[in-house]
Amino acid sequence: MNNKRTEITAFILSGGKSSRIGKDKALLSIEGKPLIQKLIELLEPIFSEVVISSNQPELFNFTEKKVIKDSIPDRGPLSGIHSVLKFSDTEKNFIISCDMPFVSVELIDYLCEYKSNKPIVLPKAEGRVHQLCGLYSKSILADVEKLLFESRTSPNKIKGSIFELRDRVPSEIVEVSKLEFYYKDIFFNMNTLDDYEYVKNKFASK
């Protein structure tokens, strides 16, 4: 029986420059697999369609997934969100950064099932909102485009950040730290070589 979600498309953002690691984070090996492959394997049983967002699509040919490039490049994660919303055929879209190795099925299901009429649904834990692990509606595409345009024409005033998008678009912030599936590393971001060693050791100790 196929219980995959067809009403939500999953996107993995892999557009970061990984400057602190010196190589593409998504391709670092965890348990003998590129990190992005482990994310794909996490998402595939949940969603009918899993798509990668990257400006270097040739790096991800091995995944056999669709890879979309930023149509408005060099504006950070908002460029990726813009491109995936423009590409998507579904109103709801689950977006996750490629450097979050410990996100769980339970968390993803909880966010997807959360009842909200707001176009952005993001988790919050221990005082921090996690903007690259949540749901974004295609209906905000025009708002994202406007913000990206303004960041180009008035870069000193408008950065073109997800924080600014949340100021303009109603966002549901969901506290998850008290839920039984939550644990302290669930939103861990792998940004440095020390982080990479931590992630490898964590998986090895499971």
DSSP 3-16: --BSSEEEEEE---
- Biggest alpha carbon–alpha carbon distance for the chain: 53
Judge whether 84 and 68 are in contact, CB under 8 Å. Answer: yes
Q: Which domains does the chain have, with CATH numbers?
A: 8-201 (3.90.550.10)
Q: How many Cα atoms are found within 13 Å in the side-chain-facing hemisphere of 154?
A: 5
In angstroms, rounded to a whole number, what is the distance separating the alpha carbons of residues 66 and 57? 9
Q: Is the pLDDT assigned to residue 32 strictly greater than 60? A: yes
Query: Which amino acid appears at position 33 of this protein?
Result: K
Report phi then psi at 30, rounded to 5: -125, 120
Rounded to two decimals, the pTM is 0.94
Q: Is the pLDDT assigned to residue 17 strictly greater than 70? A: no
**Res 15: pLDDT:** 72
